[in-house]
Structure 1
Amino acid sequence: MKVVAYVRVSSERQAEKELSIPAQLKAIQQYCQEKGWIIVGEYLEKAKSAKTDNRPEFQKMIALAKRPNRPFDAIVVHKFDRFSRKRDDHVIYKALLNKCGVKVISVTEQTEAETPQELLLEGMLEVISEFYNANLATEVKKGMTQNAKQGYNNGGTPPYGYRTEHVALGASKTKAVWVLGPREEIDIIRWIFHQYAYEGVGYKKIANMLNEKGVPTQKGGKWSASTIRAIIFNESYIGRKVWNKQDYQTKGKKWKDRSEWIVTENAHPAIITEELFNLCQKRAKERNNGGGETHKPFQTKPNSPFWLRGIFYCDQCNSRMVGHSTSTTRKYGGQKYYICGVYMRKGKDFCPYVGWRKEQIEKIVANKLRSALLRLTFDDQIEEEIQRYHRETNKHIAASITGLEMEIGFLKKRIEQMRQEIQTGGGKVYYADVITEMQAELKEKEAEYAHKKNLYQELILPETAIDSIKHDIRNLINLLNEEVPNPQPLNEYVGKFISSVIIQRETKMVQIAMHLKYGEQVLYQKMIVAEWEGSTA
């Protein structure tokens, strides 16, 4: 174990009565040597009082202990009163260090057991920390929202063709904005949009043309179809800044409703016209509807034995995994695997190779999905689970609606009171101005309330919805129970209940995103986790 030594004497006069710094240090070194511990630092306070704010070495040590990458696991003292004589300081700092995973150990005294006061304080520190973090997050979000509305950048790398520049606001404040990048990058962006809109060239071909010309991407790598697609759909190129599109609080990323996005027009110089951008969106839609290229909805090939195709994704590049069979001429016959589609098409420069055995992953998914669906259908729990999920996902909106109702009620009541006081002659001269301000605020609150009410809709299920879901569940379970599953109908039914399957390469954990849907409406979602057992290709 790695430790630090903390040594202190109180004052010049008291130092004569107390064990000297060298003597304390020697005792600590001998104690650690016997325990086999390594001393990685020494903090020596010469003639310092027990007040923590008067001990610079102590404060340095505590600051280092609070870091995530601290170099030690314990603080060793000669006696506990060297750490702190005051009981409240001792309890506070010990609780703080416990929370950080750092022990305080005495050479001459038995390590203290945790007292009820320390346990209580530790819990209070956790609650205060949680409140502070939540409040800080709210304030940061508020500041970032205001930033975005004014067209300033909230961090991150600007798109290809732009650069970040800091502008001064006052004596000491600066804000980040996007400005046009090098001329050659601007020309490349315009060329990409022109090729897609007017020449009918697809994402992959545009990427290949750029790679053949030796044009590097923003990070110095090669272009891919997904990079070109991201550019075609990026509203930044018409001077529009869009922020708050995704929710990162959930596991992974989740797209928010467009009504929650912060959109600022003319936030930075445009590279292309809005007409050209809209034409590209029209072309993309036409390609999609007409059997277009990379953004075409995935369809399983007829008679394909790989029934997870279309829902099994690579954890490295988020592309779909595709089926692959080894040669049947081998001694033990062919093997079937799911392999990253990007690796298959472009090679290891774009995504490292890994293959998951078809039989093993399909068995894991089948068993986990079957168990989850059987639990839902047991004792008619489906409707109850759907309602619970709906309440949980909408509770923050419901709380906001309740708060707005109270604020609106208060404003209306106060405005009416002021009007009555004015009519009876008891009102102040400034009441009229206050009423005008309050009416403006009331209008804003009512608009926000209407918007939130529109977002939060009571879940009303048709009578046929639950019956339809149960029918699909029964059919799927029957297909999963077949000794030799029929992959085509199985793929169709599995797609109704699973949005994605991902295996994390490092941890070998299988993540199955299950859902219940009625039409396009998602009624229930759950993440199922399993451990991969077996080898990879």
Structure 2
Amino acid sequence: MTNVTTELRVPAAQYIRMSTEHQRYSLENQIPAIAEYAETRGFAIVQTYSDAGKSGLSLKGREGLKQLLGDVVTGRRSYSAVLVLDVSRWGRFQDADQSAHYEFLCRDAGVAVEYCGEPFENDGSMVSSIVKNLKRVMAGEFSRELSAKVSRAQKQQASLGFKQGGQMPYGTRRMLVSKDREPRFLLGPGEQKGLDTDRVVFVPGPGEEIGIVRRIFRMFVDQRRSMSSIAKKLNEEGVPSTDGWRWTLGRVRTVLKSELMIGYYVFNRTTGRLRGPSRPNPPNLWVRTRVMEPIVDSRQFAKAQREMGYKRGYGYAKSDMVKGLRRLLREKKKLSSDIIDVCTYTPCARSYGERFGGLRAAYAIVGYECRWRPGPRRRFSDEELLDGIRRLHTAFGHVTIALINADPDLPRAFVFMRRFGTMTRAYGLAGFPTTKAEACSAARKRASPRLREGLRYEPSRPRSERTR
């Protein structure tokens, strides 16, 4: 009799999702609730789709829901119903019609959607339609209210000098303190506080890093070096950047722009709530708090900010940029991005590219013909690319985009991203950890001994010398 009853049950799939908002929505609690509903309503669960630790604000990153919708629309399924705990598990979309659209796709393909924990029947009646829409709006409003509360709390904590996420600039460290601001210990890369009552504050880094920071400002302000030439100089000398990695233009820019160098923590520069695009906030909304002793003089920092605005190229008139480039051509008899970057009276090569639509266009204006021609490009197989990642990992103990770009036997990193989707996926296919916690832990174990031993990198070869 039991076998007959089981065979007569309607095959169904269950969709479960948990963010981090409350224990009552844990996957362990959703599964038995849905199982009880299926038992009483005559469903047999034949497949499970899950999104653990995923926000319901958008479809991005929710592979379980994407697979469910794909299976339903394409007909690759063996069930005729989808069981969900409640409307909010389907999603907390800010547009209530988005959740309704996904449910419509299921119904249009002949798959019913059942909400196991709701007090109404999803039977298409007027009452259920009104209640469902109200629930969808309430689910979205919950996220909006929660986002506003979190934002207020973060700004209040930032005004007290407590770090609220984000990157740690070179030359600084994170100190874990108690609720009474009693110092506990320095946090290493990837380490986080363990108690809700603890806080994290910025403190100056070791003396050798502070010396490098001051040197960067001197090279940029006094010697009028470009940021790319500063990065090149530090790499040639074997000076390790954050976590022992190589210096890049972006890392130098971060040091020059961070107000932590003059002792101020600035928060709320941008707003990107509810998974929306990030947009800059006006300065009157920034939270600026003095948190530590300055590393560089405030007047030198101000000069660096003015110079950065000038060096971007938009502080120059186009006629002045052309005049400077002609003068440089007369002096050097040739032009290249490296020659332009080290010149003290022209903006950087990137500025010329942005203002004139490429360096070749800028060269043409001053009458210089670039004779470089790309050679035949080698076609790498997937396994050759992954073997290259493994080879770099064996040689350096870690793999970064900078190491890939500097290797003469490998293509640029964008080739890996175009081939595998993301560098994280490429690392995973090569057999390395891809989660943030695993990567940070591995980087911490590798970086510390290397820094103690005085890590030295060989400078990258010029692009013209690389194998193509």
The TM-score bracket by the shorter chain reads: 0.3 to 0.5
TM-score (norm 1): 0.40
TM-score (norm 2): 0.45
* Bigger strand fraction: 1
Larger radius of gyration: 1
